A and B are shown apart, each in its own frame.
Chain A
Amino acid sequence: MSNTHLLSAVDLHKKFKVSSQRHSTRFLTALDQVSLHLSAGETLGIAGESGCGKSTLAKIMAGLLTQNGGNVFYKGTLLSQLEQKDRINFRRKTQMIFQDPFSSLNPRMRVGDSIKEPLKIAGVSVPLQRVELERIMAAVGLPGDTANRFPDEFSGGQRQRIGIARALAASPEILIADEPVSSLDISIQAQIINILLQMKIDFKLSMMIVSHNLLILRHICDRVIIMYLGIIVECGPASELFQRCRHPYTEALIAAIPGFHSLSASKDELLRDDLPSALSIPPGCRFHPRCRHAVDICRHEVPKLVEHATGHTAACHLSDSLYG
């Protein structure tokens, strides 16, 4: 199965060591048995509670962080077993846009040079580099005369655009973007979204986009994955997921979109206020302490990710009875 997909992951597990008062070491489970795939030309969205492991997943898929269990495949080959030249190829063809634009830019490098770097690595001639730089900077809305400045002279939103420009300069085959537009104002957000949509059409760019802005995911994604405390709780075609979700957490997320009152139940009824913690994961369905539908079985038995309609999976014991 996995060899037909551009990028796929099977049973990813990731834990982090955390500080502890006494000398005993504790581990935090950031990802638990996460499997997913990205097909060529597809845009996959990832949403979910803060701290549920989205950035961790994005970094592992980009080959920038190693998992503790499970595998990542690039065109059917284990990422860790790619031959040297394929590995370099993967590095070049897979670009990542980071959530925190400041920490991902070299503060001592002029932004023009930062953006040009991938072009240089790809062996583009110097005059052509300059032309490309100008084109890309204009495309993401950065004034051309700012190329000689350093990152700390830019606003948060501008830095984010520098990161986007840098990723796009590499003409990637796969773009993994962690909150690419959340720090941008609306008009620039719209411009960037249009660029991504266009690149999808022109170059069959495949994208994995992490965002908590569900309206943006609905607009640009083919499929959307909803995560909760390190696992996937629902995954389905974007059009379907927003119209007819199949997990109570997704329902709560959709209801909480500011200015988007499409569901009958009021927001307050949808989520109980027990805070989830990756340091102490509840038994059974890990969403049960906050779920208003929880029944006995939810407290003991882990619900499996089950396919309810073509390509639409959800991990909830009551999915069928709740959502038909």
Chain B
Amino acid sequence: MTALSIMRLVPPPGFISSGEIVFEGQDLLLLSQKALQNIRGRMISMVFQEPMTSLNPVLRIADQLCEPLILHMNMSRRDALEQGIELLTNVGIPSAGDRMRDYPHQLSGGMRQRVMIAMSLACHPSLLIADEPTTALDVTIQAQILELLDARIKSSGLSMLLITHDLGIVAERAGHTAVMYAGQIVESAPTGTLLTAPRHPYTQALLASLPQYAEPGKPLPTMAGQLNIRAASAGGCCFAERCPIKTSGCCDEPQQLREIAPSHLVRCWKCS
């Protein structure tokens, strides 16, 4: 939901109840639809988790990829086509020229995802919001795309808000990481600290359930219960219902995000 609300694409009945989203000094929630549209298309770009829901099934890749170039970058159709092929090649789509004529269903799951990524980079955005951008991709292509994004970050000042559940990627790519639970940030720290010395019980439980540390074939440690938004927003700590170290004090009032070390924030009163 966070990424969608930054883009102000939160579908009804969802809405942003409070807070502000500041991008280059402007509060996006206060902008008019038109101004927002411009920012959204050009400066902030987004890659969604499910490519099939954001690619138009009846349009060829060429048409979908070139539209923003013609619309936002004032390119001629021919330039846009050329640029489109280059973009596809950059995200690792082989025979890009031929693929331009394909419809989305003719591509493999991973290729569709790469097309989405190419589209998102087309207009040189300054912020890229990537929601699980590489989940459908095998590790070598994954590495290649993240490499490409890294290069863009270094060369053209692109910033990336990467949303993922793959902690391996987080470990390798993110400078700073925030862990969310039930719509709230529960822990936020430099990535190294977060992965080696997590403090919030939720972060700790997450790390414990990764398959890399388990003996093959044995059940993985899991968290009790399941995310229940209603219980989580009932007052008290949002994680209390499932927390292994919960005591009666946890349910008294909502937890605040506190800084326990420089740049290390935790939403749990037991951590200091």
Contacts and interface: CB of A to CB of B under 8 A. Distances in A.
Interface in A88-102: 99-102
Contacts of A198: 219
B206 interface: yes
A34 interface: no
Interface of A: 16, 18-21, 26, 47-51, 55, 99-103, 141, 143, 156, 179, 182-187, 189-191, 193-194, 197-198, 212, 214-216, 218-220, 238-239, 252-253, 256-260, 267, 271, 273, 275-280
B10 interface: no
13 contacts: A19-B98, A50-B109, A50-B137, A55-B108, A100-B52, A186-B165, A186-B206, A187-B222, A194-B219, A197-B219, A214-B139, A256-B142, A279-B98
Contacts of B94: 51, 275-279
A114 to B, nearest CB: 18
Interface of B: 49-50, 52-53, 60, 89, 92-95, 98, 101-103, 106-111, 114, 132, 135-144, 165-169, 171-172, 205-206, 209-212, 214, 216-217, 219-223, 226, 228
Top-5 shortest CB links A-B: A50-B110, A258-B168, A277-B94, A190-B209, A212-B138
A19 B136 contact: no
A212 B226 contact: no
Contacts of A190: 209-211, 220-222
Given A100-B50, A218-B216, A271-B140, 17 more contacts: A19-B60, A21-B101, A50-B110, A55-B109, A100-B109, A103-B52, A179-B109, A183-B135, A183-B136, A187-B205, A190-B222, A194-B219, A212-B139, A212-B142, A220-B217, A253-B139, A275-B93
Most central of B89, B106, B137, B139 by chain A CB within 10 Å: B139
Contacts, number: 150
Contacts of A179: 109, 136
B141 A49 contact: yes
A306 to B, nearest CB: 24
Nearest to B202: A187
B217 A197 contact: yes
B168 A189 contact: no
Contacts of A182: 135-136
A189 B110 CA distance: 20
A258 B109 contact: no
Given A215-B212, A260-B212, A102 B167 contact: no
